[in-house]
Amino acid sequence: AGNATMAARLRASPARCGGVEMRRRCAETTVVAAQATGASVATLVRILVVALSVTMGSSGAALSLEDSHFANASETRALQQASCPWSFKVWIYEFPEDLEWIQWAKKLKAAGEKWYDNEREEDMFSLEIMLHKAFEKSCVRTEDPDEADFKFVPFYSDLDFRMNERQKDPTRFQRAMIDAIGGVVEPWEEAFKVTGKYWLEKQGWDHIVTFAAPLTSFTHERGRRGLFHNRKMLIPPIVANVELLNRFLKEYPYCGADKNLLLPYPGGGIGWADGSHERAAYQVIAESYQRPPFAEAVAWVDGILDAGKDPWEVLQEHWTGYSTELDIVRMLTLANKDVLALSIYGMMHDCKNLRRTIRDHLQRDDCLLCVCNLSRATLGGHGKGIVLRGDEKKFSRQLLTFRPLFCPCPAGDSPSAKRMYDVVRAGCIPVILSDDFVYASSAEAGIGDLPESTFALRIPTDALDGYESPQAGRKTSPKPGSATAFVVGDSWEDLPLAKSLHEKVRKLQGG
């Protein structure tokens, strides 16, 4: 009875960790602020896409990317057009269905595979597919390209890249995109079988394209790091992407976040969307509270609540500067958690040294109720017994993500990783161990007013004992031209628009 009483009280209390509410609040407050200040069209299109990503992340639109997930939007399309809060319009290119990558997408969707499967690795790279669906059902969509403020290009570049066996050289479609961005539209018209005139009207600045993965942006220089891939976004068009680096935003504050759309990694999966992962996790946590060491903490919490006091204030009042195991158990009980810290990810890529260091820290005897994975099917750490309870069967990463209070988040193959968003969604406080990572919709990203420090912790990687960065010796781009040359040439002056502006300036100056 005590467990049920305490659990009911905790469920009725406001959540103390982030999750979907954090992202929704960020989107809603930004919309209100923009409407109040008369924000620009460029700002509103960012707000729209952020709001759409929040909606999809919380309602399950990322599950299998089916039209049915947007059924309500489709049924109320006429009403949306009449009451649409945004004044800009977006036109979507319509490509023939016989294009290779469209045929692949249709077959994968029919078979429910890869990007269209449930919780497969590829779902983190499904942003290009999700945005296509979102704009198709949005009230800002127009069928008339001449009245459109923006033109969305629904090219599934990441799908095209991976279905072509990840070849180093661009496919003919990716090459045609690059040529169109550079002002040469004949390859575009031949490959995509649509007009290229709209690319020429504004040099592509009004076009929206998608970089669904950080390192596969039409060209695939997988060995390049630093700002190289971000600098590709300095030229037209507008780029919807999942990674803008901290250094990039500081070096290019206007051409970075103000021009481009930084969005969360898509969070696909039926269990995430319908709440089954969360329900299963909290059922297991409730069972933990019936056993030591949590049963005593549950009784303590109930006693404090019955006395009309705030357990968090009582816990802080008696804190001596060092958290004992009893303090940790009580804190976890108040947070509706049963693990202090968890890391569970593979040991791959150049980030394996950092991941191994995190794993070593979580296996220390003084890391109470900490858990880490030693392999795909083996756990270690002081909290292993709490998690497994003698059952050594394969564990669920998704279910485990809801159980810890803190989640160390190292970089992936690049500074960002989908886990940075998954753990927030699960109500776990992320401990960011990636110096260049920036959250979408955060104040640091220049979109939204929610500082990262209100829902996350950050530790510089060079402050982590036992870790040496593998990035020393990495080949990085010494100047912007090395990245922008993938489209236009060796300097900004190679852009047709830059050439004309430069000539006008010279004339005005009498040169």
Domain limits of the chain?
19-52+84-290, 294-370, 392-466+482-509
What is the C-alpha separation between 436 and 413, in angstroms, rounded?
13
- Segment (H or E) for 500: helix 496-508
pLDDT of residue 256: 72
Cβ atoms of residues 407 and 341 within 8 Å: yes
What is the three-class DSSP state of 282? helix
- Segment (H or E) for 499: helix 496-508
Residue found by looking up tokens 């597919």 in the block: 129
Residues in the chain predicted with pLDDT less than 50, given as ranges, are 1-76, 472-478, 482-484, 486-490
What is the C-alpha separation between 209 and 198, in angstroms, rounded?
14
Q: Provide the token pair at 459.
A: 């530790």
Task: DSSP letter for 380, please.
Answer: E
> How do residues 268-319 score in pLDDT, each as one tens digit?
678 888 899 999 999 999 999 999 999 999 999 999 999 999 999 999 898 8
pLDDT of residue 355: 84
Q: Provide the token pair at 23.
A: 């992202």
What is the three-class DSSP state of 382? coil
Q: In 349-449, which residue ranges form alpha helices assigned H by DSSP?
A: 352-362, 384-388, 397-401, 419-425
What is the C-alpha separation between 125 and 263, in angstroms, rounded?
12
Q: Between the CA of residue 92 and those of 103, 207, 343, 388, what are the distances in Å?
A: 19, 10, 41, 50
What is the C-alpha separation between 311 and 314, in angstroms, rounded?
5
Cβ atoms of residues 423 and 457 within 8 Å: no
Number of other CB atoms surrounding residue 451 within 10 Å: 12
pLDDT of residue 223: 67
- Segment (H or E) for 31: helix 20-37
pLDDT of residue 64: 35
Q: Partners of 241 in the beta sheet? A: 211, 262
pLDDT of residue 430: 95
Q: Provide the token pair at 166.
A: 């990840």
pLDDT of residue 348: 55
- Segment (H or E) for 262: strand 261-262
Cβ atoms of residues 73 and 138 within 8 Å: yes
pLDDT of residue 511: 59
What is the C-alpha separation between 262 and 70, in angstroms, rounded?
23
What is the three-class DSSP state of 403? coil
For residue 20, what are the contacts with CB-CB under 8 A and spacing of at least 6? 54, 57, 58, 425
pLDDT of residue 267: 76
What is the DSSP annotation of 423-461?
A: HHHTT-EEEEE-TT---TTBTTTTSSSB-GGGT-EE--G
- Segment (H or E) for 341: strand 339-343
For residue 46, what are the contacts with CB-CB under 8 A and spacing of at least 6? 261, 447
pLDDT of residue 7: 38
CA end-to-end distance (rounded Å), the chain: 86
What is the C-alpha separation between 238 and 198, in angstroms, rounded?
14
- Segment (H or E) for 409: strand 404-410
Q: Which amino acid is at 158?
A: D
Q: Between the CA of residue 177 and those of 131, 184, 241, what are the distances in Å?
A: 18, 9, 16
Number of other CB atoms surrounding residue 412 within 10 Å: 23
pLDDT of residue 68: 36
Task: DSSP letter for 343, please.
Answer: E
Cβ atoms of residues 240 and 217 within 8 Å: no
For residue 336, what are the contacts with CB-CB under 8 A and spacing of at least 6? 7, 10, 11, 282, 285
- Report residue 96: phi and psi, to 5°: -60, 145
Cβ atoms of residues 228 and 483 within 8 Å: yes
- Of 124, 128, 121, the closest CA to residue 105 belongs to 128
- Of 165, 157, 184, the closest CA to residue 239 belongs to 157
- Does the pTM surpass 0.95? The reply is no
